[in-house]
Structure 1
Amino acid sequence: MQAIDVNLPLPFVKIKQDGTILSFSKTAYEEFNLLRGNLYSLVDGESMAKLQRAIHAEGSATGVEIHVKSSRSDLSLYEVFISIDENEHANLLFRSKDNDTSILMERLLSLQTRLNDTDFELLEKKEQLERALRRLDVLSGPFIPLSEKIGYIPIFGDIAEEKLRVISETCLQNISEGDFETILVDLTATGSIEEAGVRRLIDFLKTIEIMSGEKARLIGVKPKAAEALSRNGIQNYVLTASSLKRVLWQYFYEHSLT
Structure 2
Amino acid sequence: MSTIKYAPLPVFIMDEEMNILAQSDEAAALFGEVQHFLEIVDEDSQNKARKRLGQKKKIKTELVMHSRKAKMSLYTVNCKWEQDKAHVICVEEDSQIRILSEKIEQHTARLSETDLELLLQKERLEKAMNRVIELSGPFIHLSNNMVLIPLFGDLFEEVIMKNEHRLLRQIDEETVDRVIIDFNGIGQIDERGVAALEHLIWEFQLMGVQIYLTGVTPDHSQWLHQYHFQANVKSISNLGQVIHQFFTTA
TM-score, normalized by length of structure 1? 0.46
The answer to which structure, 1 or 2, has the higher relative contact order (CA under 8 A, 6+ apart) is 1
The structure that has the greater radius of gyration is: 2
